Amino acid sequence: MSSLLVRRRGKKAAKPAELPGPADGATGTASPWAGGPDRPATPASSGGGGADDDPPPAVVEWSNGPALATKAWGALLALALLAGPAALVWTALRPAPAPVAAAAGTASTAQSAAATERAVELVETWLRADSNDQQLIASLTNAPVGTLPQEGLTIRDSSVAQVEEAENDVWSVTVGVDVAEPAPGSTPPPADAQAKGEQAEVPLVWVRRYFQVPVLVQRTDTRYSGPDLAVTALALPSPVPGPAAAADPPDLGYSETISPTSPAGQSVAGFLAAMVAGDGEITRYLRPGTSVSAVTPAPYTAVAVTGIKGSHEVTEDPADGDGTHALTTVELTRLDGNKTTAQYVLTLVARDGRWEVAGVEPAVRIDTTPTGTTDPGTAGE
């Protein structure tokens, strides 16, 4: 908390040269008593002294100032001597400062990142490894390497599916990866052919597989904000089932159909074309105060809206503030001419008789309205 310093101000005393001399009554001319600041005023003539010829009064200094200053310094010195022991007592008795909560969170994030990095590295290396890679696998884990295949697998697109802290600085990391495997129903080459190194044409397909790795992450130096970490995979990857799909996916909260040719649909089409295809200025479709940037360089050459579902009904002549959340399905034309389908969720709000985009939503809306009831909400919720 900042302090407010206030300086006391008083009237500034005028210098002697700045003091106006008394005017002579009849003529209004300056008095002859107008000496400079460094010398006493002297009369201009030696005429008889009247009341108007008296010199200005001399300035008398206040003689008690030095005495009071001495007393003030003595009081300050006494306070300083008394404050010394009190400061020592406060230093000894004050509680230790509480640890910064953000430091623990930062360390936990760093440990999680280190665990996932080691798990992904081990899974990829283990899947690609052949019988000559014993030492390479051993450098990534303390577990015994055991048997490795004569030929490694072809993999792609590895990512972390789940990470959680188990206990005692051990993190459980599940890594998903696409593995090229023989197509279902294909016949693998006989064992003797493999032993002779004979190659057989076997059709392969990509299959998503998941592997779990326990990783120990320990801090070796806590003196600095950036922890120095020791990372060890405690076991070889273990194949596990992937995340299960929802048995009964929920209904989405978009019950109203909006025509792509309606004013709302045209605003959506113009906005998306400007955002991902570089067609037009994106700000003309935005509600005032909304900030959405176009993708640069544009990854697509054209956008075609194929369907819009809204959370609330839209009309041809909306009132200011009317709105809806619009789940929009579009067909995007890539730079190579190929087309693909994507979906966006936009917030539309009416103003001055037209529909404007008030935001791009990060997730779809789930329908939580009980069966047989009507959602009384608005788009602004």
Q: Which amino acid does the sequence have at 33?
A: W
Max mean pLDDT among 3-12, 13-22, 150-159 falls in 150-159
Condensed to tens digits (0 to 9), the pLDDT of residues 42-81 reads 444 444 444 444 444 433 344 455 555 566 666 666 665 6
Three-class SS state of 305: strand
- Under 8 Å between Cβ of 195 and 211: no
Condensed to tens digits (0 to 9), the pLDDT of residues 77-128 reads 666 566 555 554 444 444 444 444 444 556 688 899 999 999 999 999 999 9
State the pLDDT at residue 220: 76
- Under 8 Å between Cβ of 127 and 179: yes
Condensed to tens digits (0 to 9), the pLDDT of residues 158-167 reads 999 999 998 8
State the pLDDT at residue 219: 81
β-bridge mates for residue 328, sequence order? 308, 344
Condensed to tens digits (0 to 9), the pLDDT of residues 305-329 reads 999 999 999 988 899 999 999 999 9
The structural domains of the chain, with segments of one domain joined by +, span: 103-186+202-240, 256-360
Q: Is the pTM of this model over 0.75?
A: no
Condensed to tens digits (0 to 9), the pLDDT of residues 237-296 reads 999 999 887 778 889 999 999 999 999 999 999 999 999 999 999 999 999 999 999 999
Burial grade of 355 (CB within 10 A; 0-12, 13-18, 19 or more)? buried
State the pLDDT at residue 19: 39
The string of DSSP letters for 170-216 reads EEEEEEEEEEEEEPTTPPPPPHHHHHTT------EEEEEEEEEEEEE
Was domain 103-186+202-240 assigned CATH 3.40.1360.10? no
* Mode of pairing for the β-strands spanning 339-351 and 323-334: antiparallel
- Under 8 Å between Cβ of 355 and 263: yes
Domain 256-360, what fold? Nuclear Transport Factor 2; Chain: A, (3.10.450)
Condensed to tens digits (0 to 9), the pLDDT of residues 169-221 reads 999 999 999 999 999 888 776 666 555 556 667 889 999 999 999 999 988 76
CA dist 318 and 312 (Å) reads: 12
- Domain 103-186+202-240 identical in fold to domain 256-360: yes
Mean pLDDT, residues 219-244 taken together:
82
Closest-CA residue to 238 (of 184, 181, 157, 173): 173
Closest-CA residue to 122 (of 15, 212, 7): 212
Q: Which two tokens stand for residue 165?
A: 């802290």
